[in-house]
Structures are given as C-alpha cells and as structure tokens.
Structure 1
Amino acid sequence: MAEPARFYHTLRVRYSEIDGQGIVFNSHYMTYCDVAITEYFRNLGILVVGDDAFEFALVRATLEFKRPARLDELLDVHVAVPRLGNKSFTARFEIYPHEDKRPGSPYLEAEIIYVSYCVEEGRAIPVPDRVRERIERYERTGI
C-alpha cells in the first residue's frame, strides 16, 4: 500500500503465537489477517456470522515477511480492499508496530483474494450489492 489503509485493527502478540526463536510463528500472521478482515467488515456493518451474513472464502494468499514481531508487542493490522470483482475481492494487509505507519516499516505485507461464497451451494457467487456498496463507499470516503 502506498500509504496506510483507512482501517486497522490492533492486537497483541500472545505467548502461544511465538516460536522457539521468540518471534511470531509465520502461520499466525494469517490469523492476524483473518481477525482484521472480520473487524473490517464489522466496522462496515457487514455481518460475517449468522443470518444475513456475508460469507466468503480465501482462494489465494501471498505473504511477504519483512521483519519479526515479538511477544507482547501491539500490532496494527491495516486492511484495504483495492479490487472488487463480480465474485471476488482482493484485500491488502500491512502489519505495523502499534501507531507506527512509516513507509517501509511493516512486519508483513500480504495480499489475499477471497470469493463471495454460498455454503449451501458450495460455490462462488456474486458479491451482494449491499456488501459491494459499503466496501466501495468506505474505500472511497472512509465512511
């Protein structure tokens, strides 16, 4: 991302997330992205669980590890949705030390492609208009 995204979610690195080297084990960064995209949608007023939930599935993830995060650090997971297709959308993530948004300083950069998904039918479906409208408005205006 050229500049930090409008939305971010803060979390703390827990003991169970570090490895023998004392740094965040790589797979936990996917969990951080998953938590952040859920909070992104919550911020937009879009349910991801329950009746009338927007269901989506991950189809591709690319992660670039820049430097390690460590136990007890606060992390800001920035989320932007720069591309919204018919059935899919691309989310970009950057994880920074809490309140540090200097270009070039993230712990991780990731790009994840998701599809809008119908569990009952077991297939990708078009992104619902109500979801599309909220994402487009938020990415354009921050509201």
Structure 2
Amino acid sequence: MPESSDMPFRFRFRVRYGECDAQSVVFNARYADFVDIAVNEYIRVLFGDYQNLLDQDLDIQVVSLTINWKAPARFDDVLEARIRTGRIGRTSFTLHLEFYRFADGQFIADADITDVMIQPSMMEKVVIPDRIRALLEAGAPGVLLSHAGEQQPDFRTG
C-alpha cells in the first residue's frame, strides 16, 4: 500500500488472544477499545502529547459511538484502522474509522465516534478553538503508525 497524502491516517495493531470470544473471533465489545486506541493515536499525531490539550484546559469526551461489523477478525490478525475527520461542529466533531485486515485487505468494520470539546475545570462544553479546528480539518493524511510488528524479519529463516 503506497504512502501518500491521499491515504487517511492509518494505525496498525495486532489482535490479542484475550480480545477473542468463544466463537474464536474478536468479541464485539472490543471494537470500542480498538476505536479508542486508534483515536488516541490520531489525536496524538494531530495535537501532540495529550497533555497539550489538558494544559490548555481542554479535553474531549465521547458522546456517540456507532460500530458496524462486516467480517470477523481473529486472534493474531493485524488490523489497520483508517481515520478521517468527519463533521466538525461548533463544540463537537466526528471521526470516521474503517478497520481492514492487513494481510488481505478484508473490510472488517467501520465506526463513527463523536466527541465534544470540554473545559475540564468547569466540566462544560466549549467552542472548538480555531487552532484545534484547523488541525482536525487538515487531519493526518499519509501518516502510518504501527504497533503490530508486521514488518519484523522472520528469524526462523535465518
């Protein structure tokens, strides 16, 4: 898959044994974890260390999460989450995620997550600052982060 600016932000991770159910597929509730992990990596790329938001008395809180499953993922599959910023409102924004199995490109699931911008000191929602809005609008096209180890050499073959 080419690294290019027309590709969305991509995050790869490996399915762990404990994330699977008795049917030997990823348990449906684990996809919320997958969304959270992928979104945190996306936010880190956009805004830097998460503490940068908190230092500005800003934070985000999930207000909606919708997941649609298309095919099963199994233990040891490498999944690739692709993230694009969707709608940006006055106080909230939506991110769209698509999950693919890296080995064969199988579309596994998609999700939409909506977060509201808050001021933690007051625990109230606030207008998304212009600088944050600009970062969300720009996104992180072509960026690939991997926690999967899928590009490691096979030491068995010497």
Which structure would you say has the larger RCO, counting Cα contacts within 8 Å and 6 or more residues apart? 2
In the alignment, which residue of structure 2 is the partner of 1:72? Answer: 76
Q: TM-score, normalised by structure 2?
A: 0.76
In the TM superposition, residue 46 of structure 1 has moved relative to its aligned partner by: 3.4
In the TM superposition, residue 48 of structure 1 has moved relative to its aligned partner by: 2.2
What amino acid is the match of 1:12? R
Residues in 2 aligned to 1:84 and 1:99: alpha-carbon distance in whole angstroms = 33
In the TM superposition, residue 135 of structure 1 has moved relative to its aligned partner by: 1.6
Match of 1:76, SS? strand
Q: TM-score, normalised by structure 1?
A: 0.84
Residues in 2 aligned to 1:99 and 1:86: alpha-carbon distance in whole angstroms = 39
Residues in 1 aligned to 2:35 and 2:104: alpha-carbon distance in whole angstroms = 18
In the alignment, which residue of structure 2 is the partner of 1:89? Answer: 93
In the alignment, which residue of structure 2 is the partner of 1:30? Answer: 32
Contact kept, 8 Å, 1:93 with 1:111, in 2: the verdict is yes
In the TM superposition, residue 117 of structure 1 has moved relative to its aligned partner by: 1.6
In the alignment, which residue of structure 2 is the partner of 1:60? Answer: 64
Match of 1:40 among 26, 39, 42: 42
Gapped runs of 5+ residues in structure 2?
A: 1-5, 144-158
Match of 1:44, SS? helix
What amino acid is the match of 1:30? A
Residues in 1 aligned to 2:32 and 2:110: alpha-carbon distance in whole angstroms = 11
1:18-61 Cα deviation digits (max 9, x unpaired): 11111111111111111111111222243323534751011011
In the TM superposition, residue 64 of structure 1 has moved relative to its aligned partner by: 0.6
Q: Which of structures 1 and 2 has the bigger CA Rg?
A: 2
Q: Percent identity?
A: 32
Aligned Cα RMSD in Å?
Answer: 2.2
In the alignment, which residue of structure 1 is the partner of 2:18? Answer: 16
